[in-house]
Structure 1
Amino acid sequence: MATSSSLLWLPKLYKSIIDDVIESIQDLFAEEGIDKQVLRNLKEVSCSMILYFWKI
């Protein structure tokens, strides 16, 4: 079984995934006229949840 110290890379992986998803949907949001602040808020909340979960 993996120890908690061996899983320290997971939050970075999750943040990278969030960054990739946000980047890939920027154009779709722009085409729909959705304000960029919505994506910024989504990213902030998602990253905050990761930090809270992993207690970094």
Structure 2
Amino acid sequence: MDIASLSTAMSTQNILNDVSVAMLSKSLDTVEDMGDGMVKIMESSVTPYLGQNIDYYV
């Protein structure tokens, strides 16, 4: 294998690695945002007084 083709192959691999890292970083940001949203939903759904009183009419 000559130096030029080796250099091209290594450059291509470096670019692919950079793209993979960027995509993984974006995925991690998305998962963190979804987790934050889930925490907010869970916090807003906590109502300790719910179900303690029953209104009924006959």
User: So what's the TM-score if we normalise by structure 1?
Assistant: 0.41
Larger % of helix: which? 1
User: So what's the TM-score if we normalise by structure 2?
Assistant: 0.40
Choose 1 or 2 for highest CA Rg. 2
Q: Which has the higher contact order (CA 8 A, sep 6+)?
A: 1
